[in-house]
Structure 1
Amino acid sequence: MFHRMTSSVAALALMAGTAWAAPDAITLGMVLEPPNLDPTAGAAAATDEVVYANVFEGLTRFGSDGAILPALASSWDVEEDGKVYVFHLHPGVKFHDGADFTAEDVVFSLDRARAADSTNAQKVLFEGIESVEAVDPETVRVTLRAPDGNFPFKMAWGDAVMVDAASASDLATKPVGTGPFQFGNWVQGDRIVLNAFDGYWGEKPALKTATFRIISDPTAAFAAMMAGDVDAFPNYPAPETLAQLQADPRFKVLVGTTEGETILAMNNTQPPLDNAKVREAIAHAINREDIVQGAMFGYGTPIGSHFAPHHPDYVDETGKSAYDPEASKALLAEAGVSDLTLRLALPPPPYARRGGEIIAAELREVGIQTEITNMEWAQWLETVFKGGDFDLTVISHTEPMDIDIYARPDYYFHYAKPEFVALMDQLKATTDPAARSDLLKQAQDMIADDHVNAFLFQLAKTGVANAKIEGLWENAPTQANDLTKVHWID
């Protein structure tokens, strides 16, 4: 039976004397296909967009407002001034394959994530762990090397979800978690299907089936919404058509915030980008408003550092890299750089492809040529993110509060200035809120002053949904399409 009922069909049903029954299935559109379905072994946001809070759960989780909530841990005690965390687990939790979830699975999951051979993209979340001990089947004691008031936040990331040793090696294509939905099937290049898990330990979702359709082309995304082929597009890729959809009573448009700092990333070890004057010249050559209007049709907030404007510790650094082509030319002359050609790698999202073309044109105005390479997502991850083989690239970093990536020496834009590393080390050891706020502001100042990257805009969350759907996230405190509260209304 076709799982959606249009308003006209509903009207006919009422005229015939039958009540309208809310559907129990949903089809969502998404732009990027995940390279795999294991959130603990990759950096792709598209993976979490399918599995976070749906298939996999952690000890804690992000709420729709960014709050840190209990998940598999019903509560936790903080001991020794934040050096020890004792997590109390929900009883009776099972994995989708029927295996019991116990404290031993927490020990396995955290030890696996922090192991020397771990492929976890966020190993930094676990590096402060000294030991993990199963006190009893429902109690876990985590001892840290130093106090960390931010540890429950770290455990809420998709990279920190709990997995079972028996199924861990196959999670990329056969994900097995404890969440309200279990993996159904994956038709490569087309769709991923999740089904409600009858044995779920918590509140059962209203939906029985969720299908994620892969639709990368903005025109096709609009056509799919108009035709009813998808019920919602939580991260809608065609902002130029939002006004048309908003005017149509069949749909509602959801506009919120994300943690996505969109940047023109620069390879800081690649000459002449190892020269701060050249990086500053590039930053001054770019008109952020042109990018926001031309690539995002007005949806986006200009930023001058790697920090979300909605965060209380945000510092407006945009003045340090304001659009100034003449200053850009002067800086290039000071650096002794002329006839410069740089490689610009662009992943698939429309903000990158559209924004990249605008950036290339503006760099050309100050004498910098670019060689554009449009890459598929897997190619970008392998060549740019893992391999560091690039000069420039446009990407949105959607992880929450991730300014610490600038302290990682092996991170793809290769900054890791010793003074910045020291600042992050100090932040980790600091629990006083006022002192942490000051350190975060210093961090924003430093990367803005060094023009590590050209900071463009904070990605807005623009979603479209059937007007009868409730429960989708308006904001995106993490990269997720949490379906636990999604339901249809009459």
Structure 2
Amino acid sequence: MIAFKGLIRAVAVAGAISLSVAGAEAKGIVWARYGDIDTLDPHRATSTLSLQVWSLIYDTLLATDKDGKPVPNLAESWTSNPAGTEYTFKLHSGVKCADGSSLDANDVKYTVDRALDAANPSVTKASWGPISKVDVIDPTTVKFTLDKPFVALVPFLADSFSSIICKSNKGVEGFGTTSAVGSGPWKLVSWTKGDKIVLARNPDYQNFGKLADNKGAPYMDGLVISVVPEPQARLAALKTGEVDIAEPPLDDVEALKSSGDLKITVAENTGQNVFWEFAVHRPPFDDARARQAVGYATDAADAINLVYGDLSLPEACPVSRGVFGNDQEFCLKYRTNYDPEKAKALLKELGYGPDKPLETSMLVWTGGNRQKLAEVFQAQLAEVGIKADIEMMDIGTMNARVRQENETPTGKGSMDMMTWSWYDPDILYALWHSPGAYRGFTSPELDKMLDETRVLTEPEARKAKVQEVFKYLLENGIHIPLYTPGWEWVFAERPTVEGFHVAPFVYPVFNDVKITDKKS
């Protein structure tokens, strides 16, 4: 039993979770997910599971509209100087943190200074850009000064990586594990690692820009986020009513849609991009022709249709649909589109053939039927003379392994099916600008283009430069897009759940949720 200010508690009974307020059963939501967060501290992790929870506890200066574009939120307006080196944000007054303290420009300064702290910076420090100082002009006005223009700052301030951390967290023992105070729609009651997070309605919450019709506090009294790794266990809990919202087993989605027993929501505009990348500092993938052969041999549309049906979309660009610069027609001109005869011709040029296949490892991370997808890709590659040995591993292990492969100059070839998710093409800077996220492909020419995508303030000029980067990555077989996964974020809801939706970049929104069978 976990108490919060003597009023709210969460109780686990026979595997079910209920909420009670002052002894009476409350109106609570139970959301089951496959995994847990890394931390409650927005400066210490990058996982989507963590981001989703931060968006419930904290708020951000800006928000995103239905198309994923930045709009005002805690900051009711902002301006920049002509050079793009100063941004001034005017904040709403009267905003409260969950502990009752006021949120103002001092909290913004505290957050940014903490993120850029040289001794212990945020893991996403680079995404804050070249901020040299933050000045509090008055309680509702704060100014960021940058060493040089950085146009990706504005969209970043709408993402939960930039969550405003209330200054009252400073020096609190256990911040990020047992304590976390923000100004979001929900406040932390408790986090039991590997089990559940218990949140309570923040009665002081004001919704200035987030995608919810409800402009005040959530309708429901509490929200429990329960860790249930097994898909069938989540489905069983949905059917019995122990859980209100959960990710269903992928193989059951079509049947659930047909039966109508549960409502199905598939996240759109996820910002997620799955792609081939290669260990380029040794043969065979130090030669662009080998990389291009893999691209020509891969029929992503057919593969995802076989495994995911209509839950995923083929992706032609190095950033996902909905992200600035994405243009399917443009990217299809330069992408290595499925053409097995071209793949065979390139392999022949490299000295490979029926009696001498190109051999490589194919690194894939576990979950979401990726094993099946990898097997389809493996068969496609085999048809042109590429022998790819699948190695399945968790995502953390794969990230480390990819870097290891890039730092190894000899041995068998290596390629991997990577997934990154971001709201802006600045993700390509993180991936491919020297030294590179995984120490993979880099070049002075690419570095120069990527630098320019960060400083061009005129949208059309920036778009042109971003697409120049796309062209370079696609033509050289550096980043071969495969698909945008909606399947990874499919939600099933009980029929009694109303008002649930998923905002761009995979943020579930519970502000509008009402559950008709919850007793009060």
Fold match by TM threshold 0.5: yes
Farther off after superposition, 376-385 or 278-287 = 376-385
Among 128, 140, 143, the residue aligned to 1:141: 143
Among 345, 350, 365, the residue aligned to 1:335: 350
Deviation for aligned residue 1:336: 4.0
| 8 Å contact from structure 2 (residues 279, 402) kept in 1 | no
The answer to whether residue 47 in structure 2 is matched with residue 44 in structure 1 is: yes
Q: Which amino acid is 1:189 matched to? A: G
Q: Is the alpha carbon distance of 1:177 and 1:249 closer, same or farther for their aligned partners in structure 2, counting shifts above 3 Å? A: same
The answer to whether residue 265 in structure 2 is matched with residue 240 in structure 1 is: no
Deviation sequence 1:84-140 (CA, Å, 0-9, x none):
221123334444455543323322321232344555343332223232111223321
Deviation sequence 1:226-275 (CA, Å, 0-9, x none):
33332123xx4534322222233442222333211122333333543232
Q: Counterpart of 2:190 in 1: which secondary structure?
A: strand
Distance 1:199 1:238 in 2: 37
Q: Which amino acid is 2:263 matched to? A: K
Alignment of 1:137-216 (within 5 A): 137-163=139-165, 164=167, 165-167=170-172, 170-172=175-177, 174-200=179-205, 203-216=216-229
Q: Is the alpha carbon distance of 1:465 and 1:388 closer, same or farther for their aligned partners in structure 2, counting shifts above 3 Å? A: farther
Deviation for aligned residue 1:48: 0.8
The answer to whether residue 37 in structure 2 is matched with residue 34 in structure 1 is: yes
Q: Is the alpha carbon distance of 1:295 and 1:212 closer, same or farther for their aligned partners in structure 2, counting shifts above 3 Å? A: farther
| 8 Å contact from structure 2 (residues 250, 368) kept in 1 | no
The answer to whether residue 391 in structure 2 is matched with residue 373 in structure 1 is: yes
Q: Counterpart of 1:421 in 2: which secondary structure?
A: helix
Unpaired runs of at least 5, structure 1: 4-21
Distance 2:451 2:438 in 1: 20
The answer to whether residue 513 in structure 2 is matched with residue 478 in structure 1 is: no
Q: Counterpart of 2:504 in 1: which secondary structure?
A: coil
Deviation for aligned residue 1:160: 1.1
Q: Which amino acid is 2:421 matched to? A: T
Backbone CA RMSD of aligned residues: 3.3
Deviation for aligned residue 1:55: 0.8
Deviation for aligned residue 1:81: 5.0
| 8 Å contact from structure 1 (residues 129, 142) kept in 2 | yes
Distance 1:388 1:25 in 2: 48
Match of 2:241 in 1: 228
Match of 1:298 in 2: 310
Alignment of 1:66-465 (within 5 A): 66-80=68-82, 82-97=84-99, 99-163=101-165, 164=167, 165-167=170-172, 170-172=175-177, 174-200=179-205, 203-233=216-246, 236=247, 238-255=249-266, 256-310=268-322, 313-316=326-329, 317-318=331-332, 320-336=335-351, 338-384=356-402, 391-401=414-424, 402-408=427-433, 409-412=435-438, 414-460=440-486, 461-465=489-493
Match of 1:17 in 2: none
The TM-score with structure 2 as length reference comes to: 0.80
Deviation sequence 1:132-162 (CA, Å, 0-9, x none):
1112233211112334455321211221112
| 8 Å contact from structure 2 (residues 430, 436) kept in 1 | no
Farther off after superposition, 265-274 or 158-167 = 265-274
Q: Counterpart of 2:194 in 1: which secondary structure?
A: coil
| 8 Å contact from structure 2 (residues 361, 391) kept in 1 | yes
Q: Which amino acid is 2:33 matched to? A: M
Q: Counterpart of 2:51 in 1: which secondary structure?
A: helix
| 8 Å contact from structure 1 (residues 303, 456) kept in 2 | yes
Unpaired runs of at least 5, structure 2: 1-8, 12-24, 208-215, 409-413
Deviation for aligned residue 1:189: 3.1
Q: Is the alpha carbon distance of 1:301 and 1:344 closer, same or farther for their aligned partners in structure 2, counting shifts above 3 Å? A: same
| 8 Å contact from structure 1 (residues 162, 177) kept in 2 | yes
| 8 Å contact from structure 1 (residues 102, 138) kept in 2 | yes
Q: Is the alpha carbon distance of 1:139 and 1:243 closer, same or farther for their aligned partners in structure 2, counting shifts above 3 Å? A: same
| 8 Å contact from structure 1 (residues 383, 389) kept in 2 | no
Distance 2:54 2:453 in 1: 31
Deviation for aligned residue 1:57: 1.6
| 8 Å contact from structure 1 (residues 130, 144) kept in 2 | yes
Distance 1:279 1:104 in 2: 50
Distance 1:147 1:346 in 2: 37
Deviation for aligned residue 1:306: 1.1
Distance 1:139 1:199 in 2: 21
| 8 Å contact from structure 1 (residues 240, 297) kept in 2 | no
Q: Which amino acid is 2:43 matched to? A: T
Deviation for aligned residue 1:169: 7.1
Deviation for aligned residue 1:382: 4.8
Deviation sequence 1:45-69 (CA, Å, 0-9, x none):
11112221x1122211224442323
Distance 2:451 2:441 in 1: 15
Match of 2:15 in 1: none
Distance 1:227 1:245 in 2: 15
Q: Is the alpha carbon distance of 1:157 and 1:271 closer, same or farther for their aligned partners in structure 2, counting shifts above 3 Å? A: farther
Q: Counterpart of 2:509 in 1: which secondary structure?
A: coil
Match of 1:16 in 2: none
Q: How many residues align?
A: 469
Q: Counterpart of 1:321 in 2: which secondary structure?
A: coil
Deviation for aligned residue 1:167: 4.2
| 8 Å contact from structure 2 (residues 87, 145) kept in 1 | yes
Q: Which amino acid is 1:72 matched to? A: L
Q: Counterpart of 1:178 in 2: which secondary structure?
A: coil
Distance 2:54 2:235 in 1: 24
Q: Is the alpha carbon distance of 1:370 and 1:34 closer, same or farther for their aligned partners in structure 2, counting shifts above 3 Å? A: farther
Q: Is the alpha carbon distance of 1:120 and 1:356 closer, same or farther for their aligned partners in structure 2, counting shifts above 3 Å? A: farther
| 8 Å contact from structure 1 (residues 313, 440) kept in 2 | no
The answer to whether residue 493 in structure 2 is matched with residue 468 in structure 1 is: no
Runs of 4+ in 1 over 6 A off after TM superposition: 385-390
Q: Is the alpha carbon distance of 1:264 and 1:149 closer, same or farther for their aligned partners in structure 2, counting shifts above 3 Å? A: closer
Q: Is the alpha carbon distance of 1:258 and 1:335 closer, same or farther for their aligned partners in structure 2, counting shifts above 3 Å? A: same
Distance 2:365 2:447 in 1: 29
